[in-house]
A and B are shown apart, each in its own frame.
Chain A
Amino acid sequence: MRAFAALLLTAVPTVVLAQSAESAATVDLKVKPVLCIVDARTPECDIAFLVLWRSDRSGGYCLFNDFVPAPLRCWSEERAGELSEQRVVRDEFRYWITGSDTATELAVVTVEVLRLDDGDRRRNRRTRHVWDLL
Chain B
Amino acid sequence: MNAASVASLFLVGVSLFGVAADASAQSPWRLGVALGHGVRTNPLIQSDDIPIALDLDIAWFGERFYFDNFDAGFTVIDNDAMTVNAVGRINSDRVFFGKTDTRLVTIGAAIGQATNFAVGAPLAQPTELTVPDRDYAVELGIEMLADGRWGQLQLAAHQDASGTHDGYEVFLDYGYGWRRQRWSVEPSLGFAYKSDELNDYYWGVRPDEASAALPEYQAGSGVNPHLKLAASYQLTRHWAVAVSAEYERLSTEAAASPIVADRDVVGYFAGAHYRF
Contact = CB atoms under 8 A, between A and B. Distances in A.
B226 A130 contact: yes
A35 B236 contact: yes
Contacts of A39: 179
Nearest to B82: A125
A46 to B, nearest CB: 10
B82 to A, nearest CB: 8
Nearest to B238: A114
Nearest to B268: A133
Interface residues of B, number: 51
Contacts of B66: 122
Contacts of B152: 125, 127
A131 B61 CA distance: 22
Given A35-B237, A115-B25, A134 B181 contact: no
Contacts of B182: 35, 37
Interface residues of A, number: 31
B57 A35 contact: no
Interface string A100-134: 00000000000010111011111111111111111
A14 B173 CA distance: 74
B237 A133 contact: no
A50 to B, nearest CB: 14
Interface stretch (B13-21, B108-116, B241-249, B253-261): B241-249
Interface string A52-85: 0000000000000000000000000000000000
A115 B175 CA distance: 20
B61 A123 contact: yes
Contact of A122 (B26, B57, B75, B226): B75
Nearest to B183: A37
B147 A125 contact: yes
19 contacts: A35-B182, A37-B179, A37-B181, A37-B182, A41-B179, A112-B237, A114-B234, A116-B179, A116-B184, A120-B28, A120-B61, A121-B78, A122-B75, A130-B246, A133-B38, A133-B269, A134-B55, A134-B57, A134-B273
Interface of A: 33, 35-37, 39-42, 45, 47, 112, 114-116, 118-134
